[in-house]
């Protein structure tokens, strides 16, 4: 099963698809072939990123590429729009922007 209890989204069908392993903030995660990155992440965890304005966590809004509330990052710092990016095996996803993830060495 790839719908974990701690996730936000619930799978209601099409559950017999091949599994794909990826990672979220270094933790192993599992999705299904054909998932968008957003759905794969939100069946495991409850948010995609934090608002840069301090009003809390965000989990996307429109799912159709119009609101840009679902930006996540790869370990190489590339920005992805989770709702329109297909999940691929081995993706290493970060829920924080690279510059946010590292403490400044000032």
Partner 1 sequence: MADPRIVPDPRIVIVGAGPAGVRAAETLVAAGVRPIVIDEGGRDGGQIYRRQPEGFRRSYASLYGSEAGRAEDLHRSFEALRDRIDYRPETLAWGIWEKQLHLLQGSRTSEVDFDALIIASGATDRLMPVRGWNRAGVYSLGAAQLALKSQASAIGSRVVFMGSGPLLYLVAAQYSKAGAKVAAVLDTSSFWLRVKALPRLIARPDVLLKGLALTWKLRRARTEIETGITPVEIEGQPETGVETIRFRTNKGQERTVACDAVALGYHLRPEAQLADLARCEFRFDVQTRQFFPVKDTDGRSSVAGIYLAGDGALTLGADAAEASGHLAALAVLTDLGRQVATRDVGRLRRRLRAFERFRRGIADAFPWPASAAAAFSEDTVVCRCENITAGELRAAVTTGSVELNHAKAFSRVGMGRCQGRYCGHAAAEVIAASAGVSIETVGRIRGQPPVKPFVIGAESDAKEGA
Q: Which of residues 41-100 bind ligand FES (CB under 6 A)?
A: 60-63, 65-70, 81, 83
Would strands 19-24 and 27-32 be described as parallel, antiparallel, or unpaired? antiparallel
If the CB atoms of residues 14 and 99 are measured against partner 1, the closer one turns out to be 14
CB closer to partner 1, 13 vs 90: 13
DSSP string, 28-77: EEEEETT-BHHHHHHTT-S-SEE-TTSS-EE--S-SSSSS-TTEEEETT-
By CB under 8 A, name the one of 79, 88, 89, 96 that touches partner 1.
79
Q: Considering beta carbons, is residue 29 or 70 the nearer one to ligand FES?
A: 70
């Amino acid at each position: 099963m790839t719908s974990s209890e701690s996730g936000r989204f619930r799978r209601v069908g099409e559950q017999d698809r091949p599994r794909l392993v990826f990672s979220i903030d270094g933790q192993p995660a599992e999705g299904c072939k054909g998932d968008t990155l957003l759905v794969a992440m939100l069946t495991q965890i409850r948010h995609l990123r934090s608002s840069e304005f301090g009003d809390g966590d965000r989990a996307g809004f429109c799912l159709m590429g119009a609101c840009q509330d679902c930006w996540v990052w790869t370990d190489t710092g590339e920005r992805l729009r989770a709702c329109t990016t297909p999940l691929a095996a081995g993706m290493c996803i970060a829920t924080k922007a690279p510059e946010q993830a590292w403490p400044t060495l000032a």
